[in-house]
Chains A and B, each alone.
Chain A
Amino acid sequence: MSELRERLARVYAELGQALLKPPAERDAEIEYYRLFLNPQGSPCPPWQSVWEKAEGQPPQLFGESHHRALGWYRRYGFEPAAKNEPADHLGLLLLFYAKLLADGEPAETLEKFENEHLRWAEPFVAKLKAEARHPYFQQLAGRLDENL
């Protein structure tokens, strides 16, 4: 597998995990929860179906894109380890995309996945850029913007 691909895969994997797991540093940890898992309303909910709401419908979790993502994972023999949570979390999607890259999937497959499960994240990333207060997340937003 080409070195470029390997490097790209690692980048995406890192980005994915950054969205899935809060950083260790106390202030950054608090900011993580404020941005993504805020009981009073997250400014940047990281799940695709919240951003791709159907017409006339309120944004919801476990929507269409959750099922489609699950279908992708299952076709390759995988499932999210967390059973009760939506499968279309951007972190999971990025991590899975990294796996597709790392395992040498053809360009058509990668493009298909990008169209179905990564393009939606543009407004999410824009919002993250606008909302992020801690440098860690400002940086993260910047890197997401570059790579997506």
Chain B
Amino acid sequence: MAAYGWLIDEKRCIECRACESACKMWNQVETGVGVRRRQVRVYTTGVFPQVRQQALTGACYHCENAWCMKVCPVKAIWRRDEDGVVLIDQEKCVGCQQCAMFCPYGAPQFNLRTRKMDKCTMCFDRLEQGLDPACVTLCPTGALRYGPWEEVQKQGAETTANFAPPRQTRPKVRFIQEGFPTGK
């Protein structure tokens, strides 16, 4: 299987949320039912004026050792052979929210109308056509990228601030560490 992973360069995020809008538009995710598959979360640390912020875009990391798959009591969560994308079968899901309880990243969310779980699908329908996921397509600064996991996992760091420790579930994501160059 040719799996894909996310490559995130936080310093380039301008908090424009094009990734959030793109996801909603392409996947036609209903608004107002408590599901935002991708979200840019902003974390603040320090006391004014020694204050700092971090902007971290996150959806689902299609973990190599996905706990959601393991804990689903009705085996509604499965992984595609073609691209390693983890999906929630809407026919089988009963909305028990176990997956949400065990996911360290808040990926599965409870849809208040369908009463089932919903999460990022890495736009596998776009992947099949040789297109990039909607969020990556829209990101204007390259803060959010992706690539073959074989290549991505050699880049950057496994984790970053405000990111749940990755050793257990092995999320397919890497975080670029280098800052912007400082001039002469």
Contact = CB atoms under 8 A, between A and B. Distances in A.
Direct A/B contact, Cβ within 8 angstroms: yes
Interface of A: 67-68, 70-75
B128 interface: yes
Contacts of A74: 129-131
Which 8 interchain pairs have the tightest Cβ spacing?
Answer: A74-B130, A75-B130, A71-B129, A71-B128, A71-B130, A74-B129, A70-B129, A67-B129
A123 to B, nearest CB: 26
Contacts of A68: 128
Contacts, number: 13
A141 B129 CA distance: 32
Contacts of B129: 67, 70-71, 74
Contacts of A71: 128-130
13 contacts: A67-B129, A68-B128, A70-B129, A70-B130, A71-B128, A71-B129, A71-B130, A72-B130, A73-B130, A74-B129, A74-B130, A74-B131, A75-B130
B145 to A, nearest CB: 17
A56 to B, nearest CB: 22
Nearest to A67: B129
Nearest to B129: A71
Nearest to A68: B128
Nearest to B130: A74
Interface string B111-132: 0000000000000000011110
Contacts of B130: 70-75
A87 to B, nearest CB: 11
Contacts of A70: 129-130
Given A68-B128, A74-B130, A75-B130, 10 more contacts: A67-B129, A70-B129, A70-B130, A71-B128, A71-B129, A71-B130, A72-B130, A73-B130, A74-B129, A74-B131
Contacts of A75: 130
Indicate the member of B129, B130, B131 with the most A CB atoms within 10 Å: B130
Contacts of A72: 130
A21 B35 CA distance: 52
A126 B30 CA distance: 50
A68 B127 CA distance: 11
A73 B129 CA distance: 9
Nearest to A72: B130
A15 B53 CA distance: 61
